[in-house]
Amino acid sequence: MNPSLGTAGGQAASITVRYFASLREALGASEAITLAAGTTLGDLRDHLIARGGRHAEVLARGRALRCALNQVMADEATPVPAGAEVAFFPPVTGG
């Protein structure tokens, strides 16, 4: 299954989504997704929430969550380029 995210607006792009810590336990370590050019990190989160089930639960709005684009912290307004590595994870607790 390779769900696409409203590809009408532009060229489809495939990306990798990675999960860490409690999100990894719930959703697995990574998945490949196809989405439309111009899709933002926030759009992608909403798309994953719309799948329902565990995705809806752990990515739910109101839950503290951070995201990274190509291994750099990013906010949800950031567009996701083709070939990107996106990651969603809980607030960090190192040190």
Partner 1 sequence: MPINPRVRIQTEDFDLSTEVAALRAGDGGVGAVCSFVGTVRDHNAGQAGGAAEAVSAMELEHYPGMTERAIEAMIDEAFQRFDLRGARVIHRVGLLQPQDQIVLVVVSSAHRGESFKGCEFLMDYLKTQAPFWKKESTPDGARWVDARVADDQALARWGLQAANSA
* Interface positions with partner 1 (CB under 8 A): 18, 20-22, 24, 64, 66, 68, 71-73, 87, 89-95
Region label for 32, one of left (φ > 0), alpha (ψ between -120 and 50) or beta (otherwise): beta
DSSP conformation class of 40: B
Provide the minimum distance between the beta carbon of 82 and partner 1 in the complex, in angstroms, as a whole number.
19
Provide the minimum distance between the beta carbon of 62 and partner 1 in the complex, in angstroms, as a whole number.
11
What gap in Å lies between CA 41 and CA 39, rounded to an integer? 7
Provide the minimum distance between the beta carbon of 13 and partner 1 in the complex, in angstroms, as a whole number.
21
